[in-house]
Structure 1
C-alpha cells in the first residue's frame, strides 16, 4: 500500500491560474504624513528637512531615513521637477478609476525642485519615445482630486545631469 514513486512529470501540467484578488489596507498617517496630505489638498507638495544632513525628504516620514533623527522643519518643494530615470510601460493596468491608461505610457522618478528624493509619477503630454532623463516637468492635478494625475513637460531646457545625478 505504499505510493508508487513519481517522476515529477505530468501529462497535462497546470501552468497558471486566474483568480480575483483584493487587498484592503488601513493606514493611519502620523504627524509628518498628515501635513503632507493636507498640503496636497491645497495642491502643494511639502517635505521635511533633516536637521543633521539637511536633506529634504518627500513625502516626509517624521525621521531622516539616513541619519535616523527626527524631522520637523517643513519645506515646500516643486511644483516643477526633473525626470531622473523612467521606464516605458507596455502592459495595461487593471481597470480602475485612475488606472485606465492607454499603453505605452511612461512612469518616471521625478526629483521635485528642492527635494533630495525622487517621487514616482506618470509622464504625459509628450510622446513616450521623447521622454528623457533631465526632462523638466510640472504637475497636472486631477479635477477634484488630492493628488497629481501626471506630469507634463514645462518647455524649459533639460536639466544638466550633474544637477540630478545623485538621485538616479
Structure 2
C-alpha cells in the first residue's frame, strides 16, 4: 500500500475563551482603562512600568506602588500592517506601535491609526483614542492617533491608590488561531482511508510497531516509515476518563467517556469517545467497534462490540 497521494490542505481554526481572575495590580490597570485613567507601577529602582506587573522583573519584589501616567506618549518603534486580520484593532491598514506613555519607562504595544506608513515615524507624539464603550479591557484603548499640538505637553507620573468604584476582577480573553493545516504524506493517507471507512497506520521497519495515526517516522526508533498497514476496525479500551463538564458547542450529554483505544494490529492507542453503554460500565479491556459519522468520514464514537473483554496481558504494553 505505497500508492502516491496528493497531500491534503485545509483551513483550521483553534478557538477558545480563556477566563482568568485578576490580582490587585492588573485589576487596577484594567479598571483604570475603563475610567480613562492609564496606570503604571513603580519599581524599587523608581522605574514606571506600563502595562504594570505584580513583581519587579529585576528583583522579583512585589509591586503595589501604582502611578497615573499620561494619555499621550512617544512611538519608540513601529511596523506597518497593510492587511488587518479578523479581530485586530482596526479594519483598515494601520501601524503596530510601541508607545512609551508620558511618565512611563516602558512601552505599550497597540495600534496607531495613520493614513499610511509615510505618516509614521519613531519619536512621533501620539495619544490614546478611547473606545466609546469601555468594560475594563485592553480594547478600552481603541487605538492611538497622532497627538494634537495643544496636547503635546508631557505629564509626570503621579501617585494613584488604585481605588475605583466596581473594580474589574476578571476577564474573558478570546484566543483564536487561524491557519492552513497540511497533514503531510503519512496523515494524508490516513485521512483518505478514513473517508473509505478504513483505518490505516504505518509500520516501523526497525521495531515493527504499527502507529495510528501515522506520523511518517517511528517515534521510538526515529526512522522513516512508509509501509501502510490497515488495522482494526475493532479495538480494546486501554484507559479512559469520565467527562462531567459540558463543553461549549458540543452536543453530547454529560457524563460521557473518552478512552484510549488500541485498534487490533496497532502498536499505539488512539483517542475516541465511548457510547452505547452506561458511562459507569466502561472498563479497561472492553472490546469496541467504530460507529461512523454521518457521511462516513471518521468514527463519531466507539460502542461495545459484544466480544468478551480482552485479557490485560494483551494490551498492558499499550497503556
Q: Residues 3 and 108 of structure 1: is their aligned pair in 2 closer, same or farther, counting only changes over 3 Å?
A: closer
- Measure how far apart 1:26 and its partner are: 1.8
Asked whether the 8 Å contact 2:196–2:296 carries over to 1, the reply is no
Superposed, 1:3-82 pairs within 5 Å as 6=64, 15-82=169-236
1:130 aligns with 2:188: no
User: Could you say if the C-alpha distance between residues 23 and 160 of structure 1 is closer, same or farther in structure 2, counting changes exceeding 3 Å?
Assistant: same
C-alpha change, 1:100 and 1:52, in structure 2 (3 Å) is: same
Task: Name structure 1 gaps, 5 residues minimum.
Answer: none
Shift of 1:18: 2.4
| Residue from 264, 270, 287 that aligns with 1:113 | 264
SS of aligned partner of 2:181 = coil
TM-score between both structures, scaled by the size of structure 1: 0.89
Distance in 1 (CA, whole Å) between partners of 2:187 and 2:42 is: 58
Aligned to 2:312: 161
Q: In the TM superposition, what is the alpha-carbon distance from 1:24 to its structure 2 partner?
A: 2.4
Q: How many residues align?
A: 163
Distance 1:147 1:60 in 2: 15
Structure 1 position 113, deviation (Å):
0.2
Alpha-carbon distance between aligned partners in 1 of 2:304 and 2:311, rounded to the nearest angstrom = 16
* Runs of 4 or more consecutive aligned structure 1 residues displaced over 3 Å after TM superposition: 2-8, 10-16
Q: 1:92 matched to which residue of 2?
A: 246
CA RMSD, Structure 1 to Structure 2 (Å): 2.2
Q: Distance in 1 between matches of 2:284 and 2:179?
A: 34
Say which structure, 1 or 2, has more relative contact order (CA 8 Å, 6+ apart): 1
Structure 2 unmatched runs, 5+: 1-40, 44-62, 67-161
TM-score (norm 2): 0.48
Which range is displaced more, 48-57 or 144-153? Answer: 144-153
Distance 2:299 2:193 in 1: 12
